[in-house]
Amino acid sequence: MHAVRDQGRSLDAALAEFEDLDDPRDRSLVRELCYGVLRTLPRQAALAGALLHRPFKRADRDLEALILVGLYQLTDTRIPPHAAVAATVDAARAMGRTWAPALVNALLRRFQRERARLLDPPDPTPEVRWLFPRWLLEKLQAAWPQHWREIVAAGNARPPMTLRVNRLKTTRAHYARQLGSVGLTVHPSQDTSHGLTLDRPVSTAELPSFSAGLVSVQDAGAQLAAELLDAQPGERILDACAAPGGKSAHILERAGGKPDLMALDIDPVRLERVRANLRRLTLSARIAQGDATAPDGDWARTRYHRILLDAPCSATGVIRRHPDIKWLRKENDIEALCDLQARMLDALWPLLVPGGTLLYATCSLLPAENEAQIRAFLGRRDDAHARPPAAAWGMARPYGRQTLPQAGGPDGFYYAVLEKSG
């Protein structure tokens, strides 16, 4: 918690340090506590603020993070309160400040005595009420006056776990039966041809034949990309921001493994995950490390029939999966992201054959990264036009379609299909 909240590390990176815990129950408890605190951070921080006589010094912010974890256990979990208090006091002792255990003990016990009053403050700030940073709340309210409350509620809820069944190895109905035989119930995820949403998330180790590539974990909204791109066998395809490879693999599965797919990413470490995913699924693609804003090298000399630009973005549509985004992302990041997306569009467009298609995708809910980005691009190119996707999912937006995060449904994605004059 301290690493994410005070040092700006991503939750995934911070949690990676706990992967070697022997007992899987400990690993999942660490995850549950960290995800939960980040989901509800303003509330826990306000409680800690109300209970502390004065704010912690900078050097003691780690201890404050521990207190947030203790409070979360008391407010949002079924961990018996005496166990939560005892474990938090033990952790404070392990952190080596002699005064800390008594302070933590007194603070958590006082919370228990006064919890009804503390949990119902008379005039909560918007952050405490909605558990989102104020700048993002304001942007969502402006962009989605009818929907922002549901967006925020879905962003604070637990995400569903959705699978993409590998059509080259099995069928959705058959795999659903295989899951049933190990006690896992699912329902077909709407709007996808091969998605199955589990009634309760499990680790991939519990999924039958996961290592043999029968199935991948992929949100339903993400599964719309390959359908919209509609790559055909024999075509040259560029996946310009490919890592960790979920959409690349889906593109290949959907077209019988036959497209000539180039998976590009700037991050060599993340490209290893593309390799591992394709290996598990026994799929093959060319893989290149490079910068989509500055085409160079072999991948840049090819002309592609279709390009997928799954651009780096604010990730405001996937906050329920990455609650750290709420606190790590800053308002002035948005402008830099928009600039990067525009440079990618401009640099990749010349790599498309006449008559080719570029699918622009983000997991953002902010119009600046979505329809405004596409409007500006179309204003710069007279050989580009947007074809409104013929689809029933989500909602039509200028130039494309958007899904909003929904309980049991997809994450928030925006897609625009751009065609190059022939």
Q: Residue 309 in contact with residue 344, Cβ under 8 Å?
A: yes
Q: How far is the CB of 339 from ligand SAM (least distance, A)?
A: 12
Catalytic status, residue 363: yes
79: number of Cβ within 10 Å: 16
Q: Does 342 bind ligand SAM (CB under 6 A)?
A: no
Closer Cβ to ligand SAM, 67 or 243, answer by number: 243
For residue 191, is it left (φ>0), alpha (ψ between -120 and 50) or beta? Answer: left
Among 278, 292, 307, 404, binds ligand SAM (CB under 6 A): 292
Q: How far is the CB of 366 from ligand SAM (least distance, A)?
A: 15
* Segment interacting with ligand SAM (CB under 6 A) among 60-68, 162-170, 240-248, 351-359: 240-248
Q: How far is the CB of 267 from ligand SAM (least distance, A)?
A: 4
CA pair distance 299, 235, nearest whole angstrom = 15
Q: How far is the CB of 44 from ligand SAM (least distance, A)?
A: 29
Q: How far is the CB of 270 from ligand SAM (least distance, A)?
A: 5
The DSSP 8-state label assigned to residue 220 in this structure reads T
Q: Does 245 bind ligand SAM (CB under 6 A)?
A: yes
CB within 8 Å of 50: residues ≥ 6 apart:
118, 121
DSSP per-residue codes, 84-152: HHHHHHHHHHHTT-TTHHHHHHHHHHHHHHHHHHHTS-SS--HHHHHSS-HHHHHHHHHH-TTTHHHHH
Find, among 253, 377, 234, the residue nearest to 311 by Cα.
377
Residues 20-59: x/- map of binding to ligand SAM (CB under 6 A)?
----------------------------------------
Among 243, 255, 338, 417, binds ligand SAM (CB under 6 A): 243
Find, among 302, 295, 311, the residue nearest to 243 by Cα.
311
CA pair distance 187, 333, nearest whole angstrom = 38
Tokens representing residue 293 in the block:
């804003």
Residues 259-288: x/- map of binding to ligand SAM (CB under 6 A)?
-----xxxx--x------------------
Q: How far is the CB of 374 from ligand SAM (least distance, A)?
A: 17
Closer Cβ to ligand SAM, 65 or 416, answer by number: 416
Given 34, 241, 313, 363, which residue is catalytic? 363
Q: Residue 264 in contact with residue 238, Cβ under 8 Å?
A: yes
Sign of CA dihedral 366, 370, 371, 376: positive
Residues 299-318: x/- map of binding to ligand SAM (CB under 6 A)?
-----------x-x------
CB within 8 Å of 327: residues ≥ 6 apart:
4, 5, 38, 41, 133
Residues 116-155: x/- map of binding to ligand SAM (CB under 6 A)?
----------------------------------------
Closer Cβ to ligand SAM, 62 or 272, answer by number: 272
Residues 205-224: x/- map of binding to ligand SAM (CB under 6 A)?
-----------------x--
CA pair distance 399, 78, nearest whole angstrom = 46
**Contacts (CB under 6 A) with ligand SAM, residues 170-209:** none
Among 217, 293, 391, 397, binds ligand SAM (CB under 6 A): 293
Return the residue nearest ligand SAM (CB atom). Answer: 241
The full 3-state SS of 280-348, as one line of letters, equals HCCCCCEEEECCCCCCCCHHHHCCEEEEEEECCCCCHHHCCCCCCHHHHCCCCHHHHHHHHHHHHHHHH
CA pair distance 73, 67, nearest whole angstrom = 10
Closer Cβ to ligand SAM, 245 or 259, answer by number: 245
Q: How far is the CB of 247 from ligand SAM (least distance, A)?
A: 4
Residues within the interface to ligand SAM (CB under 6 A): 222, 241-247, 264-267, 270, 291-293, 310, 312
Active-site residues: which are they?
363
